[in-house]
Structure 1
Amino acid sequence: MNVVIGGNSGIGAAVVELLAGSTLVVDRTGTDVACDITDRASVDAVAALVQQGGGLDALIVTAGVSPSMGDARTILNVDLFGMVNVLEAFEPLAREGSVAVCVASIAGHVMDWPAETLDLLDTATDLDALTALAENSSMAYVLAKTGVIRQVRRRAKAWGSRGARIVSVSPGVTDTPMGRAEMAADNGTDLMAAASALGRQAEPEELASVIAFLASPGASYITGTDLLVDGGSLAGFGR
């Protein structure tokens, strides 16, 4: 079974359109199954459904919130700690050929953090400490997405021992409801898209095609890494 968490809109909805086979669409509302990824019991209930439904083929996690959607604590709790809840709940379901694709962000590539901060991101157990480090919701988003990339890398061996893969994808500015909200917040998102090598934002279908490939047998040797799909945004900024 394929599972798309955050499949009600944006990149997640575009992924649902591309995946072959049985797909369970999970979101807070309006989908096959409702789930709050910040609530471990809620995530465990979804994992149990998948196990009962025949087991895990692909897990796609696009659920998250952007800087304009909450305060620093909310951003970290959803985008990092929620992702950890999902990965911990679904790892026991991983089997030969299973794959998890976690949506991170270009934001996870824009800052270098000291070792002490990286340790907090790797353990992902101290929400209070990480919230204290975040000066605002934008900084919390950068921290959270850095954490997602690192979580994928550090979990790859455990997934590999089950014959499974785990990867992350870091989109640049994308034309989704969340992306448009950030544009409206006038926080520089439009400038990032304009400064990219391609000079535009991505369409959700462009990200979905990359995610669908990573979830396919054609990507069978890709694991424990992040794929930056930013239209050359970092290149445009010279980073």
Structure 2
Amino acid sequence: MKKLACCLALLASTATAAEIAPAAASLHPNLAGQVSRPIRYRPDGPDFVIHNGAEFFNRSLYGGHSAFRVDGGDNPEFMLYLPGRGGNLRLALRWPGGARWLHEAASIDTRYRPGELLYELRDPAWGATAVLRLDVLAYARTEGLILRAEGKGLPPGAELLWSYGGVNGERGRRDGDISTERVPIAQYFQFRPEFAARNQFTISGEGFTLSSPAATIAGVVPAGTALHVAEGGAWNDLAAMLSPDASSATPVMVARTPLINA
């Protein structure tokens, strides 16, 4: 280590003034008054809270002592990392007057605490006092994700919709760490239909099983949930996702679960 430090000092000392000038001109020291940044997250007790944050997949939930994790974020969409892509889970709310992806809700309050993400969502279309709460965490004794949804003041007949799929085991340059991929994580972990090309779903009384060369994923759903396979190419089209397509070459699972207002 001493030899390396000496060598670097020697190389620096042999540079001419002409060589130093361009480098010095590009330096941006951290001076007072030049380092201020807006505070995105505010502390609240043991939690970090943000209102209408823009990020996806920037908050990881770890359960047990393994490389598995769930990448959530400011917005309520989730990606399972096995390691390798283990599928995206996207949520929506459907009511008699319409349907909307939850990440498009007018108001999203996100609360992060160790091992858990909590969301409170509001939208004028649901009613002036309506709120949907989500609690999301990773299991400790097995590799998985559990989600609880609770509505208050929602329109009668409201349903929680969700879509899941895209398991191919693809690994990133550094397993999807923030700022290590060629594009931002918010883009990198978005679902693409080709990720679901070799997925197969089997629906059972308690939920479903997704089989792929990378992994087998079991999903357990509440009683009264309606399940169907849809076309992965329609991932961003909520209305189209509600149309079953059991013959799709890029299948994803879609579910509708009645919500009971608290």
Scaled by the length of structure 1, what TM-score is found? 0.28
Q: Which has the higher contact order (CA 8 A, sep 6+)?
A: 1
- Larger strand proportion, structure 1 or 2? 2
Bigger fraction of residues in helix: 1
Larger radius of gyration: 2
TM-score for the superposition, normalised by structure 2: 0.26
